[in-house]
Structure 1
Amino acid sequence: MTPNATPQRLNPFALISEFYHLIREWVIPLIVLLISLIPVFMKHHLTALIPVLIIAVIVIFLVPASLRYWYFKFALEPASLVIYSGIFNHQINHIPYQRIQSVNQTQWAFLKPFHLVTISVETAGHSDTDRPEAVLSAVKASIYDQLVAAQQQAMSQPTDTTPTPPNYTINRRDLREFAMTSPAFLSVLVVLLAGFGKLSERTKQQLINWAFSSAKQLNVFVILGSAIAILAVFYLGSIITLILTYYGFNLTRQGDHLIIRRGWFKERQTEIAIDRIQAIRLKQPLVRHWLHLVTVQLIVISNDHQDDDAANVIIMPVIKQAAVNDFLATFFPQLPSLQFTRNHDRRNFWLNWRNYLLGSALVILPLTLFWRPWGSLSLAILFITLPMASFHSHATTAQVLTPRYLLVSNSDWFTRSDYLFQRHHVQTLQLRTSLWLQKRHYGHLTLQFRAGQHGKKKAFNYLPAAQLQAIRTWYDR
């Protein structure tokens, strides 16, 4: 399709997006304002004015949202995407097509009947903003095709002579397997605990007192049943969310780009340039580890801070461990064959057990001594930390596969991760040891690499000195 050089406005549905972003930026001050004004209104019997206040806030935010929408235009010129924006300070941003690294597309369900999508554009340049270089909200789906075609033409990419490019579409069984073996429901508990930690001390104490007073009136079976029921609700909610998020998951490789489509309520399309991939991560939460299932992720460079998954892109939700090499060979034929290994080093095992025992003791001893009799229940921590130490020890390995590729493995919270690095994507490599470890010929490895907008570090502890020396030789070539 031929790019349209005439400046265009976004569809009026983009007003919803502008209003949403403004409200999200000010949601915390607005909540604080509302909470602080409610006692005043109640004291002076002005509660009837609360709806008026809410309507006034909505109107106040609609005005700048409307101005942002009115002064925002875009044009697909022959050589670049041009963005016109700014209310008082007018800006014109030219984004040459050859600098565009990825063009991502999302579509909310209510926009499907109107064939409208949201397009985000990221370039090779590093950006310090929390959004991509350009976001086109509620535009015609044909704009995406025009933009991708203009980018590919500018990059002068050779056409793929393969009649059928590599393609994968998830089936219902794999989608259910992926959703049912995910530990994502536990993250809800983490969020609740984090929210509890932000409450005032008085509120915390009141909640704790209420919980204990309620527990005294209930028997053990009712308490356990309630806890199991809550976990079951979180688990089912997690399954439904993941199925809707990854519904219709499709992966295609076209030339030097991967295209990912997924989503039911919010259909999403993501394009990833191969040269932005910094590492391949093979992820196995505990249940998938037992079932020999793997999730394949890409660690990529991204400028999108609003998307939590921008730096870790899933390209294979779930696959049998034995089929991983065939999958990677299909989409990345240059990669070497991988082998999932376990660490059987006994000294590594006991060193990790020692560390986890000491960490547990720092929690258990104070609780047992100063919070009787309930503090003794903290001994249950050992039933989590000691198996975690064993799991971590078995997962910690390192292999130099070829002069270009390194495979290192470790675990976090019963989740094994195998990272495949290409040498020039490792920004820094650090080897550490101590006098005590040096005598026993052990040390620690730390790798730093790009992930998202910033660098990321991964540590691999208690590796044999021979492995560390092989990795140093590999990196110094």
Structure 2
Amino acid sequence: MNNIKKSRVHPMVIMDTVITGFRLFGIFMVLALKEQNWKYYLLVLAGFLLLIVIGIFDYFVKSYEVRDGALIYTKGIINKEVKNINLENIQSIDMSSNIMYQAFNLLSVDINLVGGKIRIKPLKKEIALNLIDILRDLKRDEDTSVVHENTEEEIQREILRLSVKDLAFYGLLRVRFFAALGLILALNDKIRDVFKIIFDNEAYFDELLQKNAESVAGNITALFIIIGIFMILVVLASIIFTIIKYYDFILTTKDHNLLCKYGLLTKKSLVIDIDRIQSVKLIYPLRYRFFGLAKLSVETLTNNVSEDLSEQKSTIDVLPLVKKDFAQDFVKNNLGIDLEHYDNLESEKIQRKARMAMYRWSLFNCSPLPIIVFAILYFANVDLKLEYKILGSVALYLVLVSYSILVKNYMLKYNELSYDRHYFKNTFMRQLTIITELIKVKKVGTINSRTNYFMKKRDLSHLSINSIGVNSDIKLKYYDKGYKEKLERDFIISEVGYE
């Protein structure tokens, strides 16, 4: 059996500790140095020496070993912690290397567990690769529950490669225009000061603003010029950041694993075991649908798998920007899920009586804002007749109710659930983003329902289906209570009978 004796990480961990400490307390150190007082200089020096001492202790305390088919990881200076990790608990093993690590040929190894992560860093590249190979070999020997038809070693096959042009377009789609606009308007005065610095002529810019301020049209023109220029800067910053972050993005498959590599300044490598994937999401944001594009994400039992390729803690965007047909073919050819089969299954949609219940709640949910507006107008002694205040509040209420009902009608067009003994197929819309989620059934743990007096009169309830895994919950709102009984017969009762 392959073992690794008790080993320490690379001494570069001392520098990591210093850098981490400077990130936390760097602002205080800079402020102390600006005081030009030798006492503060001594305090900063003592801080650096303390960080170095902590790093030295961390180097001698932190260790790892592989023994008897288990990984043993030790860390902690004051509170020593020893983790004995069952290899079956390992979901995936990833690598990363920032600029400093690349200069010294070092790697950081992230071992993703169910609900947690162990980060062993830094390690010499050859040592890190050897550790990963041993863990994967032992894990493969331990995991006897999955048998593949093809016993020969699979050839690494490229699935997707994103060019700089693709990444630039991806960076454009990632821009949150409304959020950027709100930030620009909120910091309008500060932004004008920045313009003065950029033009390097405060008198000229003040004269320009003063001239435009003489008329409403001129002031609006100046505002739009400022917004336009800074919006362009926001777009350029998003594009440059995306290119640097995901440079040379490539997704391949080998040995029933998905391998994802990317990064310019910090190179990262993710390995995702296809058998460990809990759910698959086909995501169609509104801005993607204009170009016939889609995004495909997978979820595992591990939180914080990738800080870069995630919009949520456990979601990994393995196909961040592809054509819709490409994403659907990937699901069928690489993940073994036939979408056409699930499209043809009998599905359940929200019934008409449920729609009426949702509309009724819109009448209540839209009422607080008009009431608040009316109260402000009434108590602030605004120079308006009472009937105008009432009519204005009623008009606002009608607009909000109409908008709420229209949005609900639009969203319900895409709301449906179907399933077989392998997957749930749940399609829904969230904030104008259409999501088709395929969740492994495995063994349903609980089927919960929640109702109230008005829903009970219509035999409606909110359902929650929990399968194995923290990321496998399906929430169904305003479904018929009879559908809950059907789900219980198919999953709960049948499983008990089978056992």
TM bucket (normalised to shorter chain) is 0.7 to 0.9
The match for 2:323 is 320
For 2:464, what is the secondary structure of its paired residue?
Answer: strand
Query: 1:286–1:415: 8 Å Cα contact kept in structure 2?
Result: yes
The one-character-per-residue Cα deviations of 1:355-401 (angstroms, maximum 9, x if unpaired) are 4564343234314531667x98996994986664444333322222x
RCO higher in structure (CA 8 A, sep ≥6):
1
The match for 2:249 is 249
Change (3 A) 1:121 1:230: same
Q: What TM-score do the two structures reach when normalised by structure 2?
A: 0.70
> Over aligned residues, Cα RMSD in angstroms?
4.6
CA distance in 1, matches of 2:468, 2:177: 28
Query: 1:248–1:264: 8 Å Cα contact kept in structure 2?
Result: yes
How is 1:462-477 mapped onto 2 (pairs within 5 angstroms)? 462-463=478-479, 468=484, 470-476=486-492, 477=494
| Structure 1 position 87, deviation (Å) | 4.1
Query: 2:422–2:440: 8 Å Cα contact kept in structure 1?
Result: yes
| Structure 1 position 261, deviation (Å) | 1.6
The match for 2:94 is 104
Q: Is 1:144 aligned to residue 128 of structure 2?
A: yes
The one-character-per-residue Cα deviations of 1:412-464 (angstroms, maximum 9, x if unpaired) are 3222222211222654322344454455454422234566xx56755332345
| Structure 1 position 353, deviation (Å) | 5.3
The match for 1:211 is none
The match for 1:410 is 428
The match for 1:161 is 152
Q: What TM-score do the two structures reach when normalised by structure 1?
A: 0.73
Q: Is 1:392 aligned to residue 383 of structure 2?
A: no
CA distance in 2, matches of 1:245, 1:342: 41
CA distance in 1, matches of 2:227, 2:486: 49
Could you say which structure has the larger radius of gyration? 2
Query: 2:167–2:239: 8 Å Cα contact kept in structure 1?
Result: no
Amino acid at match of 2:155: T
Q: Pick from 106, 112, 118: which aligns with 1:122?
A: 112
Instruction: Give the paired residue count.
Output: 439
Change (3 A) 1:225 1:393: farther
Most deviating of 311-320 and 385-394: 385-394
The one-character-per-residue Cα deviations of 1:95-144 (angstroms, maximum 9, x if unpaired) are 465654321101113432432211112345x55xxxx2x32223222233
The match for 1:68 is 58
CA distance in 1, matches of 2:47, 2:354: 59
How is 1:15-414 mapped onto 2 (pairs within 5 angstroms)? 15-22=14-21, 53-75=43-65, 79-87=69-77, 93-95=83-85, 97=87, 99-123=89-113, 132=117, 134-154=118-138, 155-156=140-141, 160-161=151-152, 163-172=154-163, 173-182=165-174, 219-227=219-227, 229-302=229-302, 304=304, 307=307, 309=310, 310-337=313-340, 338-339=342-343, 352=358, 355-356=361-362, 358-370=364-376, 382=400, 388-400=407-419, 402-414=420-432
Query: 1:106–1:269: 8 Å Cα contact kept in structure 2?
Result: yes
Change (3 A) 1:298 1:410: same
For 2:442, what is the secondary structure of its paired residue?
Answer: helix
CA distance in 2, matches of 1:166, 1:290: 30
The match for 2:197 is none
CA distance in 1, matches of 2:303, 2:265: 25
CA distance in 2, matches of 1:356, 1:109: 53
Query: 2:107–2:122: 8 Å Cα contact kept in structure 1?
Result: yes
Change (3 A) 1:57 1:336: same
CA distance in 1, matches of 2:472, 2:230: 35
| Structure 1 position 231, deviation (Å) | 4.5
Query: 1:103–1:271: 8 Å Cα contact kept in structure 2?
Result: yes
The one-character-per-residue Cα deviations of 1:236-269 (angstroms, maximum 9, x if unpaired) are 3333333333322222333343322222221111
Most deviating of 268-277 and 310-319: 268-277
Query: 1:182–1:285: 8 Å Cα contact kept in structure 2?
Result: no
The one-character-per-residue Cα deviations of 1:36-67 (angstroms, maximum 9, x if unpaired) are x98xx99xx87786565444433333321232
Query: 2:92–2:272: 8 Å Cα contact kept in structure 1?
Result: yes
CA distance in 2, matches of 1:354, 1:169: 47
- Give unmatched runs, 5+ long, in structure 1: 194-213
- Give unmatched runs, 5+ long, in structure 2: 186-209, 383-388, 495-499
